């Protein structure tokens, strides 16, 4: 009889706890990551004769995307640098077509009309100075492809071909790549 009463009490507590405990559906969830950005090429005519120069490249992690920021002091939203951002099968230095290996399941080429500042220590085919992508969900690699015919080229390795967007803000060009579709 004692065992039966103990089992009944345990069952009652279990059932009461299940009814009183919040359900998994009621638990707070992370915000949905609706992007609708697509993975097709994005371009803007902007200013071909930019007076601004690339002074730094920074990255950031967000809940729904990884971000790369190209600092171009002097660029405005009314007169931004021209840009072309697209997935490419391989990345190379434009005039020589010498291949530059970029790690990742996909490669985004970022081309824009602002030359690197003489103070920006980028070297052809090397990783971008100061950019550490350790721990990023989408970004895998970032390489400098040089400056040719008034355009600077960067290769951004991503985990896969994912949606992305390009933003022109005062003094910077921003590329966000979503974590998922």
d(CA 148, CA 124): 11
Weakest-pLDDT range from 27-36, 53-62, 159-168: 27-36
**Tokens describing residue 152:** 């600077």
Write the pLDDT tens digit of every residue in 114-147. Answer: 999 999 999 999 999 999 999 999 999 999 999 9
CATH numbers and ranges of domains, the chain: 42-178 (2.60.40.3500)
**Tokens describing residue 82:** 């021209």
Write the pLDDT tens digit of every residue in 9-42. Answer: 443 444 444 444 444 444 445 568 888 999 999 9
R_g of the chain computed on alpha carbons: 24
pTM: 0.82
Burial of 81 (0-12, 13-18, 19+ CB in 10 A): buried
**Residue whose C-alpha is closest to residue 69's, from 117, 105, 61, 46:** 61
Rounded to the nearest 5°, which phi and psi values hold at 24?
A: -65, -30
């Amino acid at each position: 009889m004692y065992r039966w009463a103990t089992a009944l009490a345990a069952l009652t507590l279990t059932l009461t706890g299940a009814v009183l405990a919040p359900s998994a559906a009621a638990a707070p969830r992370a915000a949905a990551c609706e992007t609708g950005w697509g993975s097709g090429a994005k371009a803007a005519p902007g200013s071909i004769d930019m007076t601004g120069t690339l002074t730094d490249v920074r990255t950031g992690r967000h809940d729904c995307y990884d971000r790369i920021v190209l600092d171009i002091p002097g660029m405005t939203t009314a007169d931004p640098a021209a840009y072309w951002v697209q997935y490419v099968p391989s990345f190379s230095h434009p005039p020589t077509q010498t291949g530059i290996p970029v790690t990742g399941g996909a490669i985004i080429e970022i081309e824009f009309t602002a030359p690197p500042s003489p103070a920006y220590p980028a070297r052809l085919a090397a990783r971008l100075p100061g950019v550490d992508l350790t721990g990023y969900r989408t970004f895998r690699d970032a390489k400098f492809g040089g400056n040719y015919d008034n355009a600077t080229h960067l290769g951004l390795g991503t985990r896969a071909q994912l949606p992305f967007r390009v933003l022109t803000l005062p003094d910077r060009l921003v590329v966000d790549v979503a974590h998922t579709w």
